[in-house]
Amino acid sequence: MTANGRPLRVAMIGHGFMGAAHSQAWRTAPRFFDLPRPIEMAVVTGRHEESLRASAERLGWAETDTDWRQVVERDDIDLVDIVAPGNAHAEIAIAALEAGKHVLCEKPLANTVAQAQAMAEAAGKALERGVLAMVGFTYRRVPAVTLARDLVRAGEIGEVRQTRAVYLQDWLGDENAPLTWRMDRAVAGSGALGDIGAHIVDAVQFVTGQQLTGVSGTTRTFVTERPVLETAVGLTGTAGDRRGPVTVDDAALFFGTLSGGGLATFEATRMAPGRKNALRFEISGTEGAVAFDLEDLNTLQFFRFADGRTAGFRRILVTEPDHPYAGAWWPPGHVLGYEHAFSHQVVDLVRALDTGEQPHPSFDEGLQVQRVLDAVERSAAADAGWTSVPDQRG
């Protein structure tokens, strides 16, 4: 495939942590993969002009604009990449789709089921006009995760019976860690549940090819107040003496049933000391199992009963040319990192745009994950499915 089509001109809405990850992907993907169209990083938007200009220069964007509405209406923009906080997703995505722009939107799709439903409906209408939308569950594009999906779908572990998935971080373990937008329900929608729990819900459903049909869970906010960042212009500042309320969860635990009849357990927490970014899952079937840990992201563990006397978890280094995505990068054994999954996301999206096929995960898939998260929150709020244990003392 040769890049001989008209350039794909991209506008990115937002320029924080995810903006940096997405920017390197737009810069890098065309240099390692044959894409059907060149990519032009046309414009980036943000609220504060000074920091926006600095980000544009550092990340490689040609122009800046503090008005995203003006940007999505521009005739020279083909795709809008949304990396703003969750409370802005619905408004921006719907406006972009109605303006005829393809959309890539970070996860979770929205802060509420109603918002996600509106986004999915807008994407459905846009698809009829050849306008495509995708939600960024980037961990699908880690080569080892894609390989796990391929093995499970090929029947290598038999019928799925149980799945276990956790996402463990520790960055909020310090009760004096400052209050940010991620701890404000009005902006973030939820805490660990939506931010990182969404990833493990999607990972389990992606690898197994099944959906969660029911859940029961609980959430907890261990630190209810945190220091407020004192700033003059809304940029990063220092934590002052004033404390503000935390309105989202610090941790979520839930279990569920899969559409194939199996059981699933999940844990999402920002309160796991020593765990920096430990997304882990294990899929157990009638004939074997696969296991993955993001903190060892080039490795997949694979077990089969059929191996008999030599049966045991096998360590697969997922860097071979015939492994998903890996052949475009380095010689075997030369490992990849976190950022590569974002490049793979760009590759899959641009190729889908070229063929006119719906890229995955679609907004409908994002909506389904949102419904799972909502069901967990409703279960936690009602203490649904929990039975108290009688106190036998005395």
DSSP letters spanning 32-90: HS--SS-EEEEEEE-S-HHHHHHHHHHHT-SEEES-HHHHHT-TT--EEEE-S-GGGHH
CA nearest to 79, candidates 67, 93, 90, 66: 93
Residue environment code for 367-379, b if the CB has 16+ CB neighbours within 10 A, otherwise e: bbbbbbbbbbbeb
In the numeric block, which tokens belong to residue 312? Answer: 């045991």
- The rounded average pLDDT for each run of 10 residues, N- to C-terminus, in the chain (394 residues) is 74 97 98 97 96 97 98 98 97 98 98 97 98 98 98 98 98 95 94 97 98 96 92 53 94 97 98 98 98 98 96 97 98 97 98 98 98 95 75 61
pLDDT of residue 238: 63
Do 84 and 208 belong to one domain? no
What per-residue confidence (pLDDT) applies to 31? 97
Q: What is the per-residue pLDDT for 2? A: 42
Same domain, 133 and 148: no
Cα 321 to the center of its chain, rounded Å: 26
Q: What confidence score (pLDDT) does residue 367 get?
A: 97
Clarify whether residues 290 and 154 are in a common domain: yes
Task: Output the pLDDT for position 241.
Answer: 77
Give 149-206 as a DSSP string: HHHHHTTTT-SEEEEEEEEE--TT-STTSPB-GGG-HHHHSSSHIIIIIHHHHHHHHH
The answer to the question of residue 361 being in a domain is no
The residue range of the domain holding 131 is 8-138
Q: Cis ω on the peptide bond leading into residue 85 (within 30° of 0)?
A: no
Same domain, 189 and 332: yes
pTM of the model: 0.94
Query: Are 180 and 314 members of one domain?
Result: yes
DSSP code, position 336: -
Q: pLDDT value at position 239?
A: 60
Examine residue 378 and state whether it is found in any structural domain, yes or no.
no
Same domain for 281 and 314, yes or no, is: yes
The pLDDT of residue 235: 44
What CATH number has the domain bearing residue 28? 3.40.50.720
Distance of CA 201 to the CA centre of its chain: 10
Would residue 381 count as lying in a domain?
no
Q: Quick one: pLDDT at residue 383? A: 82
> Residues 234, 192: one domain?
yes
Q: What pLDDT, on the 0 to 100 scale, is given for residue 1? A: 39
Q: Are residues 248 and 267 in the same domain?
A: yes
Q: Count other C-beta atoms under 10 Å from residue 312's C-beta.
A: 10
Looking at the fold, whether 215 and 116 belong to one and the same domain comes out as no
Question: What is the domain count for the chain?
Answer: 2
